Amino acid sequence: MFSSSSRAAVEGSFAFSFVEGVLVRAIREGKWVLLDEINLASAETLQRLSGLLEGAEGSVCLTERGDMDPVVRHQDFRLFAAMNPPTDASKKDLPPSLRRRFSEVYVPELDDRLDLKQVVDGYISSGVSVDHESLAFTAVDLYLWARVLSSESLSDGAGQRPRYSLRTLVGAVSCARRLVQRGFSPKRAMLEGFRSLFETQLDGDGRAKILKGILRAFGKGMGAKDLEKPPRRPGGRASSNASWVRIGPFWLEGGPHDPIDEAELDPETNQRR
């Protein structure tokens, strides 16, 4: 058996201590918590949540800290969870025993033109000085057209139908907003953003079809040379060619070593060969 002094010495030498996380603090203080993609959690995590949602007296016991008394749930504590349907890749369904403890609200996929326009507007209204209303509607119409086209004639590199979702649209306009900050014109930025998210995953025929629609939406008046022309080098005259490397129409910040790249871009596929 350890003496009191020996135990104190051992306890004082511990390098780790248990620190309560956001969820435990929210349970104690009555805060609201949102768990996104809850169906990606491990079975052990879901089992712990099940006890927390058990009736009005739900609680959780911090066995990791060696506690015997449970953390009682505050009356104002609320737990929200979001998940994609289990039909999506790598997604699984929630156990029925846990699912029935929630009040479930199904949110269908967003396909209303005005609703989608509000989403796009939220990403480009603060970073685009031109008529972002018209630009947002153009982006939405292109997205809806691409969704129809994907279900009819497009295929990706694996021969599967590509799935264009709200996440794809948001990724395209987010990319466009960053490109505007780097010196691209708003329409050129939207063109490059949509090419990055909608075109690159397709096979040769599909790339040509979707590119035609993207150019029709954002590339009016732009020739092949315009599409290869980069914006002003970041930093302007204060920077040098050694600080930035041009890859196609983009500037990438250089590292400490000289770049070595003997590959060439295929003019038809825009891929290395």
Residue 12 has pLDDT above 80, yes or no: no
Residue 262 is predicted with a pLDDT of 63
Using only C-alpha atoms, the chain has a radius of gyration, in whole angstroms, of 26
Q: How far apart are CA 154 and CA 221, in angstroms?
A: 26
pLDDT at 170: 94
What CA–CA distance (Å, rounded) separates 155 from 151?
9
- Cα 176 to the chain's mean position, in Å? 15
pLDDT tens-digit readout, 16-45:
677 778 888 888 889 999 999 998 888 888
Q: Where are the domains of the chain?
A: 20-99, 113-228, 231-273
Query: Which architecture, in CATH terms, is 20-99?
Result: 3-Layer(aba) Sandwich (3.40)
Instruction: Write down the pLDDT at residue 248.
Output: 73
Architecture of domain 113-228: Orthogonal Bundle (1.10)
Contact (CB, 8 A) for 123 and 173: yes
Highest mean pLDDT among 129-138, 139-148, 227-236 belongs to: 139-148
3-state secondary structure of 212: helix
